[in-house]
Amino acid sequence: MSMKHSTPPLLDIDALRIDLPVGGAPRTAVHRADVRIAEGEAVALVGESGSGKSLTARAVLRLLPEGARTHGGLRFAGESVPDMSRARLREFRAGDVAMVFQDPRAHINPARGVGDFLIEGLTTARGVAVAEARTKVAGILREVGIGDAERRMRQRPWELSGGLLQRVMIAAALAAEPRLLLADEPTTALDVTTQEEVMAIISEAREARGLAMLFITHDLELAAAVCDRVAVMYAGSTVEDLPAAALHDDAAHPYTRALLASRPSVGDTRGGLRAITGRPLSGFEAPSGCAFAARCPRARELCDDEPPRSRPAGAGSAACHFPHTRAPEEAGSHA
Amino acid sequence: MLEVHNLRKVYGDFVAVDDVSLTLPEGGSLAVVGESGSGKTTTARMIAGLEAPSGGHFAVGGEPRRPGRVGGAERRTRARQIQMVFQDPYSSLDRRQRVRDAVAEAVRLHRPGNGAAVDDRVAELLGLVGVDERQARSLPKGLSGGQRQRVAIARALAAEPRVLILDEAVAALDVSIQAQILNLLAQVRESTGTALLFITHDLAAVPHISDEVLVMRTGRVVEQGPVGRVLGAPRDAYTRRLIESIPKPGWKPRRRPRPDAD
């Protein structure tokens, strides 16, 4: 709905709804996901369990469970993903978009060599000669910080540590020369020092290539550090979308603010964390009004009765009847 | 309350824990922080009696722990000293047992008494950890991860332990639930005087739960001291590296040379 669009966004998730079959009947897991990513831009999709963030990411590649149905818009560079033919979908997955998952071991054949896995996409989908593919892939491995590329390519996946294997997965994703990288909690299973290295590698590779990214995570701080914009999901809906730089000062949705406040940090002086009462709801459990109302300190009657629509708030947009907005000059505090 | 001297664990020719000493005062809270392979969990399991040390010794409440098998009475005495809560509460609860019965069972084991006394104690424990009446009637599968962890904590507290070991007890929980459980543990410590040994990979949680911290790497202690000092003015390069890799406002990930690379 943007005014002047010369080119459509690279990825446009527009009022996406996802129904999953539960006990034979369709139930809505994602009510409304709205995410737009421009060419070369990085957007984080942040949420707790059940928020629908991973389903949304999977919907982009049409990797949803059997029997799932999507409604709403899902376009890549203007082209409708749900309308892609099988042949076009294969091409789309092999070349336009690449995905990196939380658990690399579940997505690599343990019986085959790392090198074979890495060149597979190039030799089968692109018809690149094996020798040429190996040279190219070795170069990418060095780029992601794997110095002894030749030796690593002769190894089996189980011979590599989790951090090393995740770098191999990133190399495989980069080898396809995609325009969009989908990264679904790529560092959640890694140690914190390894996480920093892997995220630095992703950021450098993106910068070198002008590669766009949809980054799925539960960690708001990490999201803000590596992305241009942050979209927050709760109970199957995008509840806020704002520039990463505005997260700490300008978050308008009470959930975003509560999530920030409940995260422990090393710099904190001692004292209790500001926990959010209750538990996160899944999309399946979302009530008819605002799904966060039961846990929200700002909720009033209206919130239970009427679902809030997304509208401009602060530096971005928020689906909230009573968003936080910074008072002019932020004068004093008020209840 | 807990004094550990030169604890060591060797598997074949792999040294998992090497010369670890620590002290946990009565009612205190000590965090043991480390990444995978640091030996933090093995250290905790040896203290809990789930793993036999290869070397070193420790004492609980001034009494030395002797290695080897022990009988039922001695086991219950030990349970009253040290209880442990694990990362995945689902696997540590009987999935066919209602929450109230699971807690009652633990209460009866440690404090035999008549039905009413047991009921009162169960109600007290469930109230302490914030599990309501409806949840108490549920099976574990009917509860969320955070609620299950509350039940696991209630069960551990039934033994009235002097020391509660928490092995990555909040690691699997959602961020908003982690904060609830950390606050609950701080409150449990205050109201019951139970000392906490908090095993974690997450340095950021430490200031909210502990007074003292010990940082481990590849089986050894690299630094220990009061939380404020260690986090505010770390002396060891690896501790600094751990602190620097935690995302925070203004932080950007960087590739860094590893201190004394392995």
- Whether the per-residue pLDDT at A270 is higher than 60: the answer is no
User: Binning pLDDT at 50, 70 and 90, where does residue A1 land?
Assistant: very low
In 3D, which of B87, B125, B91 has the Cα closest to residue B105? B125
Give the mean pLDDT of A183-191.
Answer: 93
**pLDDT for the residue numbered B259:** 52
**pLDDT for the residue numbered B95:** 87
**pLDDT for the residue numbered B258:** 60
Task: List residues bridging with B155 in a β-sheet.
Answer: none
Q: Which tens digits make up the pLDDT trace of A77-115?
A: 999 999 999 999 999 999 999 999 988 888 888 889 999
- Whether the per-residue pLDDT at B65 is higher than 90: the answer is no
User: Binning pLDDT at 50, 70 and 90, where does residue B73 land?
Assistant: confident
Chain B residues close to A272, C-beta within 8 Å: 183, 186, 208
Question: Least CB-CB distance to A191: which of B35, B204, B252?
Answer: B35
Q: Which tens digits make up the pLDDT trace of A47-68?
A: 998 899 999 999 999 999 999 9
Question: Least CB-CB distance to B248: which of A48, A265, A276?
Answer: A265
Chain B residues close to A262, C-beta within 8 Å: 175-176, 178-179
Q: What is the pTM of this model?
A: 0.91
Q: Do B174 and A48 touch (CB under 8 A)?
A: yes
Amino acid at B70: V
Q: Do B147 and A267 touch (CB under 8 A)?
A: no
Give the mean pLDDT of B41-54.
Answer: 94
Q: Do A200 and B255 touch (CB under 8 A)?
A: yes
Q: What is the distance in angstroms between the Cα of B150 and the nearest Cα belonging to chain A? A: 13
User: Binning pLDDT at 50, 70 and 90, where does residue B62 land?
Assistant: confident
**pLDDT for the residue numbered A330:** 45
Higher pLDDT, A279 or A234: A234
**pLDDT for the residue numbered A271:** 62
Give the mean pLDDT of A158-185.
Answer: 94
Question: Least CB-CB distance to B255: which of A48, A197, A274?
Answer: A197
What phi and psi values does residue A223 have, to the nearest 5 degrees? -55, -50
Q: Do A191 and B203 touch (CB under 8 A)?
A: no
Whose tokens are 């060591």? That residue is B8
Q: Nearest 10 degrees: CA dihedral of A129, A133, A136, A137?
A: 180
Q: Do A196 and B254 touch (CB under 8 A)?
A: yes
In 3D, which of A61, A20, A53 has the Cα closest to residue A35? A53
Q: What is the distance in angstroms between the Cα of A80 and the nearest Cα belonging to chain B? A: 34
Distance CA B85, CA B93 (A): 11
Q: What is the distance in angstroms between the Cα of B101 and the nearest Cα belonging to chain A? A: 24
User: Binning pLDDT at 50, 70 and 90, where does residue A314 land?
Assistant: confident
Whose tokens are 């997965």? That residue is A169
Chain B residues close to A276, C-beta within 8 Å: 176, 179-180
CB-based contact B33:B215 (threshold 8 Å)? yes
Distance CA A84, CA A75 (A): 10
Question: Least CB-CB distance to B177: which of A222, A248, A279?
Answer: A279
